[in-house]
Structure 1
């Protein structure tokens, strides 16, 4: 009696919890239909990918004569279980949530038996409460331990090893096949992808050194001139051999064709090799989640188009980049056009200037200078909250460690050498010296960082150092001095210095500068050099622009199969390169995407009503999951295949204790990784960090 009462109480509690969950789901479905429907479709897409994987195990197991106990979509308690029994079709509904006393078969309280002739089946088909995931239960095969011995000739452990390998590998195989089929479908219909056009180049990297510029179009890679998109360029770099050049055919913005050979190099934060090429953009303002913020912060709306820079019309994003590279003025005026409005919307923004250097610490530095003079550094942004207590935006860095007026390279070297150590600094705040101490740390990409962004102090005329003395013969004692006048013209900032020196190129001018003791005057031969002002302009108050996209469509079924196969192999290769980057610590785990991130990303794609992009994303997920499931860890299919190969070679299974130990080690690692990526997904998608 007490047992019956206990089951009833348990059922009441479980029913209350279940109804509460259903009520919450119903509330979100009715109140936030668009968002909830997108989330549901995301689960459906991910569920299909997992279903196909498990279908591979199921079909191969059946084909190989292995008894299959259950085929489940999802994890956790059973929502619905369907199985053919003798003369009936048995349907179990929440059997482990709503239980029944004296129920050895665990049919549950809600069990329906529909009359149906025929023999009993061996497999129950289940849908479980958490729809992300799934599994196939084979008789004798254990996921969390060594396989159990069995007298059943159809047990997993009793069939030949080659059949077990086929069964285990079938899920991964079908995921690869699914990815290929999805990509074939996508390219038969056509999809808009970023084209192989240079959006910008990173200074010091292979593309920049080879002379590639924003707007250049890569029309062929290693002789392949068909369906070349931006990802094709990234994959060619990532998968290239060590010190092996990649042959590119490049169409310049003036229409000329050039052959360029690039050797990819490791790029921090990417975890793989690259050329240092950024994606192409447009001049159209992109959609952001908070449209009101776009209006309040920039006075703009989604769809506005940047039409002119300082009154000069532009039509392409690369022209905007070109304007920024050639400008050296305090401010910039951007003019936007709006559909249905004749007048342009103008915004006047302050420019900051930074060092155009290679990102790799210890690599090649390209010093910023104005006619050979390197300005001091100032804090342009605070990137880590705790630094707010020490430094402020606008602080001029007068000293770091033992370096007076450090250049960017000197500050980087000091930062790298002082990781987890206190670094003394002196900054000028409103003209007054302030002593501060900072502790550089390793950033998410492995770089040593203080937690600040820096720009050059162009508002003053103080020279931190000089460079390229062959072309710009400044005296050595001018470092740390303040330029007072040039050719009798007083200068108040580096814009004045650049203006006067440009006007006197090819001439000799008198330069007065204030040293430690007195004002001194020198004669300076101003060289004629179009690159005499080597700075990188940056705009902080600018909205995000849409990524440039172009329609890629196969010419026919054969072409679609070719493109789909190539895309599948590219994503498989990229996943392996990402895993390699994790192992060698070139990629931070924070950049990885877990189940929450997959759902959030696919939900965003669905909300944009782009079905082809959604299919493309699911194809990518299918290819990536195939690689992940074939990792040589016992918890994965790949690990089980390794154990089966060892069993074949040694003539007996790996010892039970060793198998169990390996499984639990793998399980701990995977659970840790899942928790980490889920935590990062929540920070990224929920809190925007």
Structure 2
């Protein structure tokens, strides 16, 4: 019940912010706003202030701002005269574009305001960030592997600047304005200078080039219904051997399981004072890897940021989330990402509820991420969405007259059909995940 409550609250905030953008710019432009609605369907609450009626409706998956003269031949309104300067249709094309664009742009601006608050409150940060930067794993055939990095190397300096923690190492590496970065490592008491190539298009942290911190083989999560859970493994177990092969770190786990080629594996764990053995049959993923359904324990600490650092960190995180969302949409359109990754209101409600249980910082981070997605989605050039209306106005700007009404109505019907199909796919994915 609480999960659904927080999910609806999250959606309500995002819809309110979006519609408030349209509403505010319309008011500033002198357009008469007839109705401001959160939700669709039967009204739960309604009141009128000035010339605008405000509504809260039953279905919380959307909202709208109804403006005077927004549609020609609207049966709910008297005909709009050409000299009515408060009608939406009589405003200049740039004004109409500003009103329509204000909704998604407000969604894109919201994270710049709320993420600094999350960083002020405190962000749960991986504990390894404040640990000594000793390499726990080098990914095979990665730039780091090609450059000669080895497990156990201690990162001493990057581009001549000494680093004492993983956080410092990642920061210096990211800021290095070079395609190939000089790194000095301490290996068995001897310093060695190595050249490490950055990977174009990737986030510039050390993981992106194949360098990972030490990670103990302690289970943080054992997924319900997967082989490990069925066999009896539990959160907090430390894996010490698989098929008799000693396990020294988390990175050994996948290697040994995959080496078995899908055959049954025996996992030996330390649980408190006991040594226990469990036998299970791994399942093969769509990528061809063999998995038993476990993830490592991620130790974290709560990091508070001073006000100026919080603003800077919030802005950087917002830009990062925008880039990730843009990349996802491009890959989805190009067919490089499965449509199974598309989620709908059920997934939003579940994730929002989980974030709310974690704390205010996680809730604000999820709210920011979702707000960016909503902003990008509404800017897509699909009729019915704000981006589609912007395309109509752009055509009017180029040719000096609006697209014929019949053409607009046909495009809107096509856009509505496309949006319904997308919503159907999202709901199908949601319920498939829920029931699986």
TM-score w.r.t. length of structure 2: 0.76
Q: Report if aligned partners of 1:249, 1:260 keep a CA contact under 8 Å in 2.
A: yes
Secondary structure, aligned partner of 1:283: coil
**Alignment partner of 1:587 is 2:341:** no
Q: Which residue of 1 aligns with 2:324?
A: 574
- Could you tell me which residue of structure 2 aligns to residue 687 of structure 1? 435
State the partner residue of 1:674: 423
Between the aligned partners of 2:120 and 2:421, the Cα distance in structure 1 is 40
What pairs with 1:169-568 in structure 2 (closer than 5 Å)?
169-193=101-125, 209-210=146-147, 245=179, 258-264=194-200, 283-288=217-222, 290=224, 297-307=230-240, 310=244, 314=248, 316-318=249-251, 320=253, 334-338=267-271, 341-347=272-278, 542-546=292-296, 548=298, 550-551=300-301, 553=303, 555-568=305-318
Paired position in structure 2 for 1:357: none
State the Cα distance separating 1:620 from its structure 2 match. Answer: 0.6
User: How many residues are treated as equivalent by the alignment?
Assistant: 407
Asked whether the equivalents of residues 216 and 250 of structure 1 are also in contact (C-alpha less than 8 Å), the reply is no
Q: 1:264 to 1:678 in 2, by over 3 A?
A: farther
Contact kept in structure 2, 1:264 and 1:275, CA below 8 Å = no
Instruction: For residue 160 of structure 1, report the CA deviation from its aligned partner.
Output: 2.5
| Mapped contact 2:222–2:234 kept (Cα < 8 A) | no
Long gaps (5+) in structure 2: 203-207
Aligned to 1:64: 29
Task: Report the alpha carbon displacement of residue 37 of structure 1 after superposing the two structures with TM.
Answer: 1.1
1:291-329, Cα deviation, whole Å (9 max, x unpaired): 99866x232322323356658574x4246568779999x
Distance in 2 separating the partners of 1:214 and 1:348: 30
Match for residue 635 of structure 1?
384
In the TM superposition, what whole-angstrom CA distance separates every residue of 1:513-534 from its partner, at most 9, and x where no partner exists? xxxxxxxxxxxxxxxxxxxxxx
Give SS of 2:98's match.
helix
Please point out which of 38, 41, 49 is paired with 1:73: 38
Residue pairs, 1:79-94, within 5 angstroms: 79-84=44-49
Partner of 1:617: 366
Q: Mind listing any 5+ residue stretches in structure 1 that lack a counterpart?
A: 1-35, 85-120, 237-243, 267-273, 351-379, 384-442, 446-452, 454-537
1:157 matches 2:86: no
Structure 1 residue aligned with 2:68: 139
Could you tell me whether the CA contact under 8 Å between 1:176 and 1:622 is conserved in 2?
Answer: yes
Deviation at residue 652 of structure 1 after TM alignment: 2.0
Q: Distance in 1 between matches of 2:423 and 2:245?
A: 52
- Counterpart residue number, 2:52: 123
Matching of residue 626 in structure 1 with residue 375 in structure 2: yes
CA distance in 2, matches of 1:250, 1:671: 56
Does the residue aligned with 1:154 lie in a helix, a strand or coil?
A: coil
Preserved CA contact (<8 Å) 2:247 2:253: no
Residues 246, 261 of structure 1: 8 Å contact kept: yes
| Change over 3 Å in CA distance of 1:666–1:597 after alignment to 2 | same
Contact 1:265-1:275 within 8 A present in 2 as well:
no
Distance 1:321 1:290, change over 3 A: closer
1:655 Cα deviation after fit: 1.8
Return closer, same or farther for 1:638/1:331 CA change in 2, 3 Å cut-off: closer
Secondary structure, in 3 states, of the residue corresponding to 1:653? Answer: coil
- Change over 3 Å in CA distance of 1:287–1:83 after alignment to 2: same
- Give the secondary-structure state (helix, strand or coil) at the position aligned to 1:548: coil
Greater helix fraction, Structure 1 or Structure 2: 2
1:356-378 superposed Cα distances (whole Å, 9 cap, x missing partner): xxxxxxxxxxxxxxxxxxxxxxx
Aligned equivalents of 2:73, 2:253: Cα separation in 1:
57
Note closer, same or farther for the CA distance 1:166–1:252 as it changes in structure 2 (3 Å cut). Answer: farther
CA distance in 2 between partners of 1:252 and 1:673 (Å)? 53
Give 1:30-69 correspondences, 5 Å limit. Answer: 36-69=1-34
Q: Structure 2: how far apart are the matches of 1:618 and 1:587?
A: 23
Cα distance between partner residues in 2 of 1:279 and 1:663: 52
Partner of 1:428: none
| 1:64 Cα deviation after fit | 1.2
- The higher-RCO structure (CA 8 Å, 6+ apart) is 2
Q: Which has the larger radius of gyration?
A: 1
Is the Cα contact below 8 Å between 1:282 and 1:548 reproduced in 2? Answer: no
For residues 265-303 of structure 1, what are the alpha-carbon distances to aligned partners after superposition, in whole Å with 9 as ceiling and x for unaligned? Answer: 89xxxxxxx7688999653323456499866x2323223
Q: CA distance change for structure 1 residues 623 and 58 in 2, over 3 Å: closer, same or farther?
A: same
**Alpha-carbon spacing, 1:227–1:600, altered in 2? closer, same or farther (3 Å):** farther
2:414 to 660, 665, 686: 665
The TM-score with structure 1 as length reference comes to 0.50
- 8 A Cα contact 1:246 1:263, kept in partner: no
- Tell whether the 8 Å contact from 1:73 to 1:135 is kept in structure 2 after alignment: yes
Q: Which residue of 1 aligns with 2:205?
A: none
Higher mean displacement: 584-593 or 298-307: 298-307
* C-alpha displacement of 1:66: 0.9
SS at match of 2:275: strand
Paired with 2:264 and 2:398, the residues of 1 have a C-alpha distance of 72
Give the C-alpha shift of residue 126 in structure 1. Answer: 0.6
Q: State how far apart, in whole Å, the 2-side matches of 1:83 and 1:217 are.
A: 67
The answer to whether the 8 Å contact 2:221/2:235 transfers is yes
Q: What are the superposed Cα offsets for residues 21-47 of structure 1, whole Å, 9 maximum, x if unpaired?
A: xxxxxxxxxxxxxxx111111111121
Contact kept, 8 Å, 2:107 with 2:374, in 1: the verdict is yes
Q: What's the offset of the Cα at 1:647?
A: 2.0
